[in-house]
């Protein structure tokens, strides 16, 4: 995966691209409004900062701010205050750049 646009466009597919890192897989499922699958992916990567960041985002979407705060701290991220749609885009752009490196 090399670009945010490619990642975003892949949301029309039935499954995430095979080469996605686990954190992007979780975010992909979140982009498809499948919170449970997204959460499963994020949990599989527990302890990896990128997965923990997506995990925080997911609990924010769920409106569980205390749990989100825990995962933001684990990820080394500041809790987001922007709309969740904007945060999804920020995380996706950042993780796409990291996966292309």
Give residue-wise pLDDT tens across range 59-99.
Answer: 999 999 999 999 999 999 999 999 999 999 999 999 999 88
The end-to-end CA distance of the chain, in Å, is 10
The pLDDT score that the predictor gives to residue 101 is: 75
CB 27 within 8 A of CB 38: yes
CB 87 within 8 A of CB 79: no
Rg (CA), the chain: 12
C-alpha span between 93 and 40 (Å, rounded) = 21
């Amino acid at each position: 995966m090399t670009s945010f646009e490619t990642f975003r466009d892949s949301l029309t597919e039935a499954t995430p691209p095979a080469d996605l890192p686990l954190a992007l897989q979780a975010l992909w499922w979140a982009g498809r409004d499948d919170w449970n699958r997204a959460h499963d992916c994020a949990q599989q990567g527990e302890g990896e900062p990128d997965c923990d960041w997506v995990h925080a985002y997911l609990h924010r979407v769920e409106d569980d701010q205390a749990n989100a705060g825990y995962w933001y701290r684990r990820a080394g991220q500041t809790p987001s205050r922007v709309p969740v749609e904007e945060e999804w885009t920020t995380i996706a752009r950042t993780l796409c750049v990291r996966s292309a490196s």
